[in-house]
Amino acid sequence: MAYQTLYQEYMLVPPVTRAYTTACVITTLAVQLDLVSPFQLYFNPNLILKKIQLWRLLTTFLFFGNLGFNFFFNMIFTYRYCRMLEEGSFRGRTADFVVMFIFGGTLMAPYLPWVLLGFSVLLGNAISVDLVGMAIGHIYFFLEDVLPRQRGGQKFLKTPEFLKKLLDPAPDAPEYEHLPDMANEQPGL
């Protein structure tokens, strides 16, 4: 019974948020159980190009460190804000969310990057990763939201059509008529 409820709740999480947070937890558990070493996960251009270790392009974004306070804190923020974006700003635009996510955009909460930077300082972690993330997020925001609205501005970041076809819901057929909203109707009247 409890398993069914847990599974149903898990399936209510938007797909990109669910896939990413699940991959992060599995990757961290694999390191914690010594199934894989963190040295097999980090981004290393030489190993990627010379030894064709392409998984490093992905796994560097899946490992948040060993299980502990820092991991749980990062996972809670990641889950909460990814879900908020996927259900809010990117509702019905999963492909656009994936492009933003791949581009590495910072989350819509304007102070979140600064909060995470502060926690990195308090926990004694290197702040370079946070600063690079903030810079990339600002570049994405500028290219996606600011530049196209300027006189003569244009949109440089375009979601590939194959992602839209793969991830976004199919549009309604033009001849399809939606049923009227019956929320305020009284039965039998």
CA distance 122 to 22: 27
Q: Quick check: 41 and 59 in contact, CB under 8 A?
A: yes
Residue 109, pLDDT score: 47
Q: Across all residues in the chain, what is the average pLDDT?
A: 78
Q: Which two tokens stand for residue 100?
A: 């933003």
Which amino acid, 100? M
| Domain extents in the chain | 1-68, 88-169
pTM above 0.75, yes or no: no
Does 93 score more than 50 pLDDT?
A: yes
**Under 8 Å between Cβ of 59 and 53:** no
pLDDT tens digits, 119-171: 677 667 778 877 887 888 778 878 887 888 888 878 888 888 888 888 777 66
Task: Note whether 169 and 178 are within 8 A (CB).
Answer: no
Closest to 63 (Cα-Cα) out of 99, 39, 86: 39
